[in-house]
Amino acid sequence: MTSENPFENSAIVIQGEKSETTTLPDPPVTNEVTEDDSEPEKSAGKNGAAQLQPPPIENDVNDESTGENSTETETDDSDETETGENDEPEYDPTKPPTYGISIEPDWDGDVLEYQGHKLGVHIPKQQALTGFTMATGVYIPDAVKQNMVSMFAYNHISPISYSFLMTRLMNPLDAEFTEESFGEVIRMLIDASGKRILEAIEAKQAAEKKATKRKKRP
């Protein structure tokens, strides 16, 4: 026995008060989904089911990120410019480097000249010479001697002149300042001190002699 399919030919029979048959056409098959501006965009997936798509990226975010990137680019350019301005001059190993001033511009103390360079100094007094002599005696350990000589130089040479002298001595390309330069500067200080002390003694003796002559007058 063959069963009849009531839905054959894709038609539905509706019976009402009147025996009329209405045939409904097959609904069109379509994968299109009505777009709505208020809803996210949809696309057809498996079996014709609609799927949600991620929301589009707003232009404001892109603009902000672009602005940030442009700002960073400008910063990098400015850094490169500043670096270029502060670049050190090319180094020439055949020439000694250029040094700064050898004495303070407002130095109001004593001045000694060595190798054509002015050095700000304090001429040592008598007690300084006595301490220097005692600290560098034969029975004093070498480490103590070295420290005392360094202290004597540092206390009697101005800060800028001391730095100038030490920098010149430690430059291997400087032929003007040698291993004897430091000792020569110390001897200049001692000689200047001895000369000043001798002048003070002679002035004192001359004053005493003059005073004695005045007393002998009737």
CA-to-CA distance for 163 and 154, rounded, in angstroms? Answer: 10
Return the domain boundaries, the chain. Answer: 110-216
Mean pLDDT within 75-91: 51
Residue 61 is predicted with a pLDDT of 46
Parallel, antiparallel or unpaired: strands 110-114 and 117-121:
antiparallel
- pLDDT (0 to 100) of residue 184: 96
pTM of the entire predicted model: 0.53
pLDDT of residue 134: 94
Q: What's the pLDDT at 183?
A: 94
Is the separation of the CB atoms in 128 and 156 below 8 Å?
Answer: yes
- Strand residues in the chain grouped as ranges (E): 42-44, 50-52, 110-114, 117-121
The CA distance from 173 to 178, in Å, is 10
Rounded Cα–Cα distance for residues 58 and 40 (Å)? 13
**Interval 138-187: pLDDT, tens:** 999 999 999 999 999 999 999 999 999 999 999 988 889 999 999 999 99
Digit-coded pLDDT (tens) for 105-123? 999 999 999 999 999 999 9
Tens of pLDDT, residue by residue over 30-46, are: 555 554 454 445 455 55
Q: Is residue 96 over pLDDT 70? A: no
Q: Is-contact 120 111, C-beta < 8 A? A: yes
